[in-house]
Amino acid sequence: MAEQTKIGVAARLREDVQTVLQRDPAARNLWTVLTYPGLHALILHRIAHRFWNTRIPPVELWKFVARCLSQFSRFWTGIEIHPGAKIGRRFFIDHGMGVVIGETAEIGDDVLMYHQVTLGGTSLEKVKRHPTIGNNVLIGMGAKIIGAVVIGDNCKIGANAVVNKDIPANCTVVGVPGRIVVRDGLRVEGDMPVMDNIINRVDPQDEVIRELRQRVELLEQHIEKLEVHLAEHEAISTDARSP
């Protein structure tokens, strides 16, 4: 998980800027990086997180200030990070619009996250209800990681994948529902599911494909009937024209 080493504000900012320069080929120089909403959201979150965790009375006032900062960040960047979330070093959100990170989420070091990612919760109780992300994890655009699950170090979560089960280290996950397709550099035969479809326990994509197949079969039957009817009509017309 995140490194515990304490570094100064200026050093942390330099590290965050350097991370953007290293991870985004489009970041040409310092001035370009300073326009990045992901960097703005991260800086504002670090400030809000300090307010959220302060124990100086009145505590609730500082939590309110933290929430105000997080809402301003959401308005300014399109990225919503709860001030209670714990984020490690060298974290980079590329593009960033639509990202949601919940209150009890924990993110390790060297994590790369793309737009429209959700680290969401499933419980209504005031407990650990959001994901824990390990170190050096890549989370593709649109991925949804839900519940108090643990994503191991060096994992890759594919675009639009949905995950609500723990994932061991060094895995690649794709699909809806999410499946482990690579583990420790080796292809996983048969895939390993990392999501429960709580409603019907089936792959929603399979349901759509099944419905489409049924519609195609009905259309084919309808076309066959039309062809038979047309052939009969032509035969009757030919007979009528015959002397």
One pLDDT digit (tens) per residue for the chain, 243 residues: 544 456 788 899 999 999 999 999 999 899 999 999 999 999 999 999 999 999 999 999 999 999 999 999 999 999 999 999 999 999 999 988 999 999 999 999 999 999 999 999 988 888 999 999 999 999 999 999 999 999 999 999 999 999 999 999 999 999 888 899 999 988 887 666 665 544 344 555 667 787 888 889 889 988 988 888 888 877 777 766 665
Sheet of 156-157, strands arranged across: 92-93, 112-113, 138-139, 156-157, 171-174, 179-183, 186-193
Residue whose entry in the numeric block shows the structure tokens 């009528």:
240
Residue 167, H or E segment: none
CATH of span 9-193: 2.160.10.10
Distance CA 208, CA 228 (A): 31
Cβ contact 178:193 at 8 Å? yes
* Neighbouring residues of 233: CB distance < 8 A, sequence distance ≥ 6: none
Which three-class secondary structure state does DSSP give residue 154? coil
Backbone dihedral angles phi then psi of residue 134, each to the nearest 5 degrees:
-75, -165
pLDDT, residue 198, reads 45
CA distance linking residue 5 with residue 108, whole number of Å: 13
Question: CA–CA separation, 130 vs 102, rounded Å?
Answer: 6
73, amino acid identity:
S
What values do phi and psi take at 175, rounded to 5? 90, 170
What residues does each domain of the chain span? 9-193, 202-243
CA angle centred on 184, ends 183 and 187, rounded to 5°: 45
pLDDT number for residue 80: 97
